[in-house]
Chains A and B, each alone.
Chain A
Amino acid sequence: MLPNLSVEDLIEQIKSNKVSPEEVTNHFVKKTALIDPKIKSCISTAFVKGKDGILNGIPFMVKDNMEVIGTKTTCASKILENYVSPYTATAVQKLLDAGGTVIAKTNMDEFAMGASTEYSSFFTTKNPWDLQRVPGGSSGGSASAVASGMVPFALGSDTGGSIRQPASFCGIVGYKPTYGLVSRYGLVAFASSLDQIGPLTKNVRDAGLIGNILIGKDPKDSTTVEKQIDLLKNIENSIEGFKMAIPKEFTKGLSDAVKNVLFDAIDNFKKMGVKVDEVSIPSLKYAVAVYYIIAPAEASSNLSRYDGIRYGLSIDGESVDDIYTKTKDEGFGREVKRRIMLGTFTLSATYYDAYFDKAQKVRSKIVDELKQIFNSYDAIIGPTTPGVAFKIGQLSSPLEYYLQDIYTIPANLAGSPAVSLPMGSINGLPIGLQIMSKRFEDEKVLRIGRNYEMIRGKFPLPEVVA
């Protein structure tokens, strides 16, 4: 029964001596050994035990773009295939200090660039609900591991939806905190102004519990801020009288199946005494375009350091330039190369004003329009993804693929908190409800999620047979 328990339940069981911390850890380690060959969530296994604390005995997995000293941090890239972390990311360290134990590093799209784990240089992770389908991405390894019961929770990172989209596809909870609440120190940078670490959990309370441990100003990350936030304090309070906004831009073009699930969700909110309005946020239609300028631009700079000189893959050549060319050509996959080239182009002196600078301006416009909405509404809700998990190999054009992030990107552009939790299912496959609010309203986002979870009722977990 252990695998279906939440972090909170496990802590309770351990506290009341029904099970020992070691038994809990061992159970999940064994379960991982049994199931992972089928799901392929993990790139490498590890065993890094923390101090004594509330998470005593609770194992977790870490997306393979976070440094954990002594473990390989590959970012699912050949260029870092044998790179061993010389230090530990602050977010991971906080969980270790709270008593947690890292038992594996999880698969992802290479350097977090993707929405399916198909862009991992090593292998594609399977969706535990249907092994023919992708788990979503880029934190697909972490999401599938939690959904299939290998660990009670895992860490992911979210640059354009990389926590929320796989949470939606795997039927679990994925929480992206406000930008600046959780330290990025030790998170291998993809797009620094958008990246944020967050938990993937079985329910909203666990997201609050783990979130509380992760949040805090880090002297090693200058973009973090000091905020007194307790995500669990008011999480059970009613949301009667709240006002939700659903942007027209989010519902336009939705399939009937998704619309139906969304209408059920709206009914549920209304039952709780929540007002739901349709609104228009015109600039949202540019969000994907803006994101695909800013994120590759920052990425092209962030990935410059993988040059074959100090660490990672290094292919010898005739000259320094030859070493660079050969190493990068061999080390980076197609999608990563595509984005580096895109970013290099938009930052070039000739095109900077037309692309990067323009995108920054539109980003500000989006932030302003969202701010306007949050002046009158508590949150923006909608589906997390345009549909349920797609089949492995199904999406072949990059553009179609990029549209996966259409609902999740705005929160990253605005630095807003957002959570995805199961909204319902379509043909036995889960789809998430996204709740997003203004910066530092993380408590509110999780409180709304918790209320929705209560009225929705328990959401099942997939049966994975070894």
Chain B
Amino acid sequence: MKTVIGLEIHAQLLTETKAFCTCEIDVNAKPNTNICPVCTGQPGALPVLNKKAVEFAIMAGLALNCEIHEISSFDRKNYFYPDLPKGYQITQYFHPIATEGYLNLDNGKHVRIRRIHIEEDAGKMVHSSENITESKESLIDFNRCGVPLIEIVTEPDMEKSEEAKEFMEKLRDILRTLGVCSGNMEEGALRCDANVSVVDDNGRSSSRVEVKNINSFRYVQYAIEYEAERISKALKDGKDVKHETRGWNFVTRTTVSLRSKEEENDYRYFPEPDLPILKVSKSQIENIKQNLPELPDQKSERYVKTYGLAKDNANIIAKDKIISAYFEKLVSSKMDPKDSSNWIVNDLLALFNADSVDFNPDKVPIESLKVLMEYTNSGKISRLSAKEILGEIYKNNNNPQDIIKEKNLIQVSDENSLVPVIKKVIENNPSVVEQYKKGKTSVVGFFVGNVMKETKGKADPKVVGDLAKKILDGEIK
């Protein structure tokens, strides 16, 4: 059995105004305050295309290796729903702005992108019950109505749910790097519908099932996994797999049927007569291309090549433009790139990940991390203390020097104060000394560990190790 997965992704564009009117986009605005005759479908109102939305769509198209079409056009997708004020959505059905791209996954898989087109979002509905059919009352907020979207459609090139998840994460990283979409799935700024089918060992394919309402990166994986298993089981049991649309329920972690193929709308697509053909010149496209920011994959490659970063670290830093900017600032202030990457990935990001929040450079200013790195490198504080101080900075945003002073964390590395402590540890552990004498030099670590304990982590482990050896070898009496 083989699972075949294709994705249809909607990404809200971060333009200041809506796709076809001049209403502001503000997710925090009170309901129905950012509306006008155009986006509420008043009689006689006409759409005017937001050029910024076109630019953003072209950026996304170029970043996903698509062919950008100098001529594309808009169409109407007709259906009735209360959150769709005109009774149709303006989209690009017949001639999308971008086609035939791809995105490579880390396992080398080449996921083809069939098309990217521009369209408008619908309003938001709030029901008094679970859904519209059971509700006595529903409210509509038209603030979201007309917000520009790009729809990205992949070919069915993925076989594992993890691949779909990775695709979504990579796509999010790219869109964020471009600055065209916030990439937030939980808030609905990035939405993913998955088309899933299963091919059995005889090469027979099940019907295709579309899974909707997947609202997090984890659920991309879970929903597809669930659906693939459901279909496989049906195939094994010799049951019929219906061609239908199903919805992911994140509470029960199952999918439920929304509508069958027969209940699908006939959208009666036809060219939008209110908008002229969309023309973009070769030079406009070239200009956008020249100004594209460095994309995560390119950046990661550069980090490996020029800084010698480990591939994993490079990927983690490169995928987020705020983290990579932070990293590059550290490097440009003469900190060692590899060292910097270790600090960022192992220590700094661990703090944010533990709280499940996005990295925020204000919580740990570059200057503070730089001081910690310098103190550690020069042996003034231990690596262990540095980690503790970093946590302190993250929590209270204190100055590192103050914390070091306050907690008396300056590393002890002078012989005079360390030798008595080491001697005491050696005296207390004659059996370990025996082992050392027999040639097991690795037991030095044992003494270092105990000295660190005695000094509450303030001793410089490297100096302690050297001194311990000298004492054991009789070089220091």
Contacts and interface: CB of A to CB of B under 8 A. Distances in A.
A185 B87 contact: no
Interface in B49-87: 49, 76, 78, 80-82, 85-87
B264 to A, nearest CB: 10
A53 B477 CA distance: 109
A307 B44 contact: no
Contacts of A185: 44-46
Interface stretch (B272-280, B365-373, B468-476): B272-280
B379 interface: no
B266 interface: yes
B31 interface: no
Nearest to B274: A192
B87 A304 contact: yes
Contacts of A192: 273-274
Interface string A59-76: 000000111000001010
Contacts of B76: 301
B247 interface: no
A371 B131 CA distance: 55
B47 interface: yes
Q: Interface size class for chain A?
A: 35 or more
Contacts of B42: 67, 86-87, 311
Q: Interface size class for chain B?
A: 20 to 34
B80 A307 contact: yes
Contact of A223 (B37, B132, B266, B274): B274
Interface stretch (A140-148, A341-349, A393-401, A432-440): A341-349
B46 A305 contact: no
Given A75-B43, A344-B268, A348-B266, A304 B86 contact: yes
B140 interface: yes
B40 interface: yes
Given A66-B44, A192-B274, A348-B268, A304 B37 contact: no
Contacts of A73: 43-44
A206 interface: no
A298 interface: yes
A328 to B, nearest CB: 10
Interface stretch (A93-101, A164-172, A214-222, A263-271): A214-222
B133 interface: yes
Interface centre among B41, B44, B49, B275 (most CB of A within 10 A): B44
B44 A220 contact: no
Nearest to B267: A349
B48 A220 contact: yes
A319 B85 CA distance: 17
Contacts of B276: 222-223
A89 B46 contact: no
Interface centre among A75, A186, A220, A304 (most CB of B within 10 A): A304
B88 interface: yes
A380 interface: no
Contact of A349 (B47, B266, B274): B266
A222 B87 contact: no
A319 B268 CA distance: 23
Contacts of A349: 266, 268
A402 to B, nearest CB: 21
Given A344-B268, A347-B268, A349-B266, A301 B88 contact: yes
A73 B37 CA distance: 14
Contact of A67 (B43, B78, B273): B43
Contacts of A80: 43
Contact of B44 (A67, A222, A223, A303): A67
B48 A219 contact: yes
Interface in A293-329: 297-298, 300-301, 303-305, 307, 309-311, 319-321, 324
A221 B43 contact: no
B49 A304 contact: no
A320 B132 contact: yes
A196 to B, nearest CB: 12
Interface centre among B76, B80, B269, B273 (most CB of A within 10 A): B273
A204 interface: no
A181 to B, nearest CB: 15
A297 B274 contact: no
B270 A297 contact: yes
Contact of B87 (A83, A184, A305): A305
Given A304-B88, A305-B85, A305-B86, A189 B44 contact: yes
A7 B391 CA distance: 82
A356 interface: yes
A365 to B, nearest CB: 17
A304 B76 CA distance: 12
A298 to B, nearest CB: 6
Contacts of A188: 43-44
Interface string A343-371: 01001110010001000000000000000
A344 B133 CA distance: 25
A193 interface: yes
B37 A87 contact: yes
Given A223-B276, A348-B266, A304 B80 contact: yes
A83 B48 CA distance: 24
Given A304-B80, A320-B132, A89 B274 contact: no
A189 to B, nearest CB: 7
Nearest to B82: A309
B265 to A, nearest CB: 10
Give 5 closest A-B pairs by Cβ, nearest first.
A304-B87, A347-B268, A192-B273, A193-B273, A188-B43
Given A189-B44, A304-B78, A321-B80, 12 more contacts: A66-B44, A67-B44, A87-B37, A187-B44, A222-B48, A301-B268, A303-B87, A304-B86, A305-B41, A307-B80, A320-B80, A320-B132
6 contacts: A191-B273, A222-B275, A301-B76, A310-B85, A320-B80, A320-B81
